[in-house]
Each structure stands twice: as C-alpha cells, then as structure tokens.
Amino acid sequence: MFKKVNVRGVAKNPVDHPNGGRTKAKQPEKSPWGWVAKHNK
C-alpha cells in the first residue's frame, strides 16, 4: 500500500533523465527512454 513517487524529469540531473538539467529550452520534451514525449501537429 505504498504510493509510487512521481518526480518530474526536468527536476533530475542530465545523467538521470533526457529532460534533466537547466538549459534544454530549444529541445522537445522526452520520455525517460529518450523518445519525444509530446508531438505538436
């Protein structure tokens, strides 16, 4: 009965998640596996 903690990828370090770090404004958001997470049509 434990709740799984959801941590935003942006809040992580660059080595832990593709969205991690501070200066990623020009790149699209990615999933933890490196795929593009949000597609804009």
Report mean pLDDT in 10-residue bins for the chain, 41 residues.
74 74 66 71 57
Confidence at residue 23, expressed as pLDDT on a 0 to 100 scale: 63
Query: What end-to-end distance do the CA atoms of the chain give, in Å?
Result: 40
Taking the C-alpha atoms of residue 23 and residue 10, their distance in angstroms, rounded to an integer, is 10
Give whole-number Cα distances, 41 to 23, 27, 28, 31, 38, in Å: 24, 16, 13, 18, 10
| Helices and strands in the chain: count of H runs, count of E runs | 0, 0
Cβ 13 vs Cβ 20: under 8 Å: yes
